[in-house]
Amino acid sequence: MPLHRHCQESTKYFVASAAPPPVPFSDCANLAGLSRAALRDAVRFTQAKTRTFGIPGESSPHDNPLVQRVVGRLASLAHSTQSISAALARAIDEVCVARLEGASGLNRMAQYRQAHAQRLRNRTALTSDMTTLPAYEPPVDENQLLLKWIRRARESQMSHYDMADLLSARDRQLGWLVTALTAFVGTAVFASLILTAVSVEQRVFVGLVSVAAVVSAALQLFLRYAERAEKHRAAGARYGAVRRKLEAVFAGDADARDGHYLTAIRDELDRLAQDSPNVPPRIFYRTQRMLSTDTPRSRDA
């Protein structure tokens, strides 16, 4: 029986018996609304993440671990709230029938089930906040904290290295383009000085190529691919140094556990996060997926 039918039948029983409804009955509508709201949030939140990370050829919500965790968490909340709502409505119906028939044992059992469903509903409602959707669990001891910091430092290190490689490749491509266009323009201008019969179309073509060479050189200067690649490479090296220190601490190196080592490492990670250049989300999540598959990396140290 649908949830609204349960509520309607329960209302009929209460009207017929002229008995005041129990406290959980007033929460039946709230439970149904909570379940529907969880379903709507699942759709909207998933669509938002799809628009953010669904870059064609680079990333999609199907292989994005963050989106999968969010969808799983929301689906679990929606199913649990719907199940609790239906169970509570059935318990209310059983209470109504038991009161009309005078069955004290059934009445007590149904009231117990009502109270149990109420406690479950309160627990679910308190944990259904959007801030807990990714199911993030903070570390509970020092070893878990070190493992989380090692994982974050490794992901940041490799994502900066991948970004540096990408920018270096773009700088080389743009440099080859500028070199080729400049050489062609220089050769064409020299040939036009020797040859007297140069058509208008050839002159226009040489002019367009010269403009393209100037624009490419300006883009190379403006985008600063080489400079940005060097910054990312330096940031990756710094994250690698912090990661190696964390791994030494986790391995039990006595020299690495000097004084307030956690505070010093945390301050270093904070400075790196502030000083390091930004890595685009698609590059970071691509690196994260590659690391999750245990793909051998030449600089994974």
The mean pLDDT value for 105-128 works out to 58
Length of the chain: 301
Range of the domain at 70: 3-132
**Residue 166 and residue 112 share a domain:** no
Burial class (CB in 10 A: 0-12, 13-18, 19+), 85: buried
pLDDT of residue 169: 92
Q: C-alpha 137: how far from its chain's center?
A: 15
Is residue 297's pLDDT more than 70? no
Whether residue 298 lies inside any domain: the answer is no
Is residue 235's pLDDT more than 90? yes
Whether residue 299 lies inside any domain: the answer is no
Whether residue 300 lies inside any domain: the answer is no
**Residue 259 and residue 228 share a domain:** yes
| Per-residue confidence band for 214, with pLDDT thresholds at 50, 70 and 90 | confident
pLDDT of residue 232: 94
The mean pLDDT value for 220-231 works out to 90
The mean pLDDT value for 41-63 works out to 53
Highest-confidence range of 13-27, 90-104, 137-151, by mean pLDDT? Answer: 137-151
Average pLDDT, the chain: 72
Q: C-alpha 104: how far from its chain's center?
A: 53
Is residue 105's pLDDT more than 70? no
| Per-residue confidence band for 133, with pLDDT thresholds at 50, 70 and 90 | very low
- Number of domains observed in the structure of the chain: 2
Element (H, E) at 26: none
pLDDT of residue 122: 55
The answer to whether residues 161 and 236 touch, using CB atoms and an 8 Å cutoff, is yes
**Residue 182 and residue 43 share a domain:** no
Choosing from 132, 150, 169, the residue where a domain stops is: 132
